[in-house]
Chain A
Amino acid sequence: MPLFRRTSRRYLVVLAVAAAVATAFVQRHPVVHAQPSEASQLTVYSPQTTYSVPVLDQNGQPYVGLVELLEPLGTVEARPDGKKYKLRYTPPGGKPREAQFTEGKDKGKLAGNGYKLPGNFILQNGRGYIPLAVVPDVMLRLATLEVEYHPASRRLFAGNPPERFTLDLRKDTTSRLFISFPAAVNPSISTEAGHVRFTFRREPVIPAGADSVKFSDPLITGATFSEHGGMAELDVLGTAPLMANFADGGKTIIVAAAPAPPPPVAQAPEPSTQSPSNAPAPAPPPQRPSTPRFLVLIDPAHGGTDLGAAITPSLAEKDIVLALARRVQRELANRGIAAGLLRNSDVALSLDQRAVAVNAARPALYVALHAANTGRGVHVFTSLLPAANLSRQDFLPWDTAQSAFIDLSGSVAGSVAAELDARKMPYTTLVAPLRPLNNVAAPAIAVEIAPATDKVEEIASASYEEQVAQSIAAGIAAVRGKLPEVRP
């Protein structure tokens, strides 16, 4: 018995030691969840753009990637070197500032001064992560931007203060609530019984007054503002169905009672040869025609666990193309062309999901961006599919939807190639068996950047990406007149 006790005690000791070693290992090699939920994101409103940064959970403490945080605002060069991580950020037209941290340490340097993080710095797959709590401070010191941060909702207003809206209830013949914004807004609107709710995903709006307002009105009884998950919501309450209309170029939203439903139309009797009906056919419900618009949808390929090509051991295709996509978006905006990104953070999308999202958005042009370390310069692709004389208004076969747009896609590719040529950049134009290009029911091209010289790292240099982005944007602007605007 004593032998048994000693033996079992030894087993227990061994097990305890093993558990302690395993725990220590896990502590030293923390797992950062790569797939944050939609709610776990930080929304940054800056003068240049509004963007989301994934917030990753590390032992209960939220972290964000430094590159993801700063890249949309300027030029970022990150250099992981063993356990050390150096980052240089250059704001547009400004002087570069540097940050330096060490994996597993909470002390580092920020803009030349010592800096202590509230948690250890994390370095994973060549990407550096800092605790979310220091983001406002880092933005101030590195990006030199005045920051207002709403921690509960994870909304960060950098550079410009939030835009404050006012509520004005006017009682004329009927009650109407005027919601006035300093700039045009485009919220998603949902109506329920007694509610009309506005969700602001990209607008840096907050109320000028209290979050919750009550009105002594028989129709509109109040409004409540809330922020959560990087979004803002305004809920207008009423005693009857409400509807919203935009005015003043989108700067004002007017909430009023929804018109009463039309009286039910008497159903026309079944056609009969004996007594033809004289009842008028029910008129279709009036529909407000949507305005055609010219939208370019940019698709930075890969993302999330799909790294794409490994350009260097620490440089993945998915990161290069996201940075390039943001540059192209800026360059298009400079030319007065609206552009959206299919992904604006490090998320994974399947090829079919990309195609579905593109076709649902109904863009005037789709641009897929890729990067590789094979070949030289810029490769501009259109789909390998042969042109087909299909009506673009009809349902198109999923696998060959692009056939109906091949001619327009070729025009765009040719125009981008001409701009590359004008900038004396090496390029190749080809057709390629590339998905989801074939499934896109819109003019579509793919652009793959490769190093222009033997220096592979050059592919991620700011000057090279800038030249490519300018060529793409200029090429698109040059053929804009040929591409039809599309009703959303």
Chain B
Amino acid sequence: MTRRILLVFAALVIVAIGLAFYALHLRRKVAREEQLAAQQQMAIATPANGPSTPVTLYVASDNNGALTKTEINAVLPVERSERDRSILRALLELYLRPQTSHPIGAGADIRDVYVMGDDTAIVDTNSAFADAHPSGVLAEELTVASIVTTLNANDTRISKLKILVNGQERETLAGHADLRRFYLASNVGQATKDTP
């Protein structure tokens, strides 16, 4: 009887260990798929066909704590939310380059942009955007300011913006910048020195 219990117990332990390994495998698989999907979406964000549109990016620099106005040409989707998302992705893409003036976490991406009531944008970022973001008041403030200012420069009707992480509200970006609030473009304009 006792031997049977011990055997059942041993079998259960083996099953539990097996399930743990399977869960780990699934987690890695999901992470890989998310990364792949993000890469595919990045590719979608800059379609090769269609008319090229001038886009204004306010690019942050950690060295001087300023945003630099940069003009690029990009092929953008017609739909407003998709268009806003593509613009912000173009901004993040600059920050993900090896020689960037304002590094952010690898894999950072914009999942969606929701436009509400014509003047309000909800920018939904992925986990990597916040989890891997360098911690610091200046670093976080510049990221927020460049997103708000860039979106307002290209979609001038957007005057209010809130940033979500993985669809959820978060207290701070990486320990400092307040993500619970709505940002007014008119306020954020004063947040950084604007170098031409």
Contacts and interface: CB of A to CB of B under 8 A. Distances in A.
Interface of A: 4, 7-8, 11, 302, 306, 308-310, 317, 351, 370, 372-376, 379, 381, 384-386, 399, 428, 430-435, 438, 446, 448, 450
Contacts of A317: 135
| Main SS class of interface, A | mixed
Contacts of B187: 384-386
Interface stretch (B21-29, B38-46, B59-67, B111-119): B59-67
Interface stretch (B49-57, B83-91, B188-196): B188-196
Contacts of B178: 433-435, 438
B153 interface: no
Contact of A432 (B62, B137, B175, B181): B137
A430 B175 contact: no
A448 B175 CA distance: 13
Contacts of A385: 187
Interface residues of B, number: 30
Given A7-B3, A428-B65, A433-B181, A375 B135 contact: no
B177 A450 contact: no
A11 B3 CA distance: 10
A410 B69 CA distance: 26
A233 B137 CA distance: 42
Interface in B158-196: 171-172, 174-178, 181, 183, 187-188, 190-193
6 contacts: A370-B176, A372-B137, A374-B134, A374-B136, A433-B141, A433-B181
A446 B188 CA distance: 17
Given A4-B3, A438-B181, 11 more contacts: A8-B3, A310-B135, A351-B172, A375-B138, A379-B137, A384-B188, A385-B187, A399-B181, A432-B141, A435-B171, A448-B136
B137 A381 contact: yes
A384 to B, nearest CB: 6
Nearest to A376: B63
B121 interface: no
Given A306-B175, A448-B138, A379 B191 contact: no
B173 to A, nearest CB: 9
A309 B115 CA distance: 33
B141 A11 contact: no
Contacts of B183: 433
Most chain B beta carbons < 10 A, residue from A384, A428, A435: A384
A144 B14 CA distance: 60
A351 to B, nearest CB: 7
A215 B188 CA distance: 69
A308 B135 contact: yes
Nearest to A374: B139
B172 A374 contact: no
B139 A431 contact: no
Contacts of B192: 430
B21 to A, nearest CB: 19
B191 A384 contact: yes
B175 A309 contact: yes
B2 interface: yes
B6 interface: yes
A431 B6 CA distance: 66
A432 B191 contact: yes
A435 B64 contact: no
A372 B137 CA distance: 8
Contact of A433 (B6, B65, B144): B144
B176 A374 contact: no
Contacts of A351: 171-172
A372 to B, nearest CB: 3
Nearest to B139: A374
A92 B141 CA distance: 37
A291 B34 CA distance: 62
A428 B181 contact: no
Contacts of B144: 433
Most chain A beta carbons < 10 A, residue from B2, B139, B190: B139
B172 A435 contact: yes
B102 to A, nearest CB: 8
A302 B135 CA distance: 12
A11 B6 contact: yes
A381 B3 CA distance: 69
B146 to A, nearest CB: 13
B127 to A, nearest CB: 19
Contacts of A432: 137-138, 141, 176-177, 191
Contact of B135 (A8, A309, A386): A309
Most chain A beta carbons < 10 A, residue from B141, B190, B191: B141
Nearest to B135: A309
Contacts of B141: 381, 430, 432-434
A384 B189 CA distance: 10
A309 B191 contact: no
A450 B63 contact: no
Given A374-B62, A386-B187, A450 B138 contact: yes
Given A308-B175, A379-B65, A431-B190, A8 B136 contact: no
A408 B48 CA distance: 53
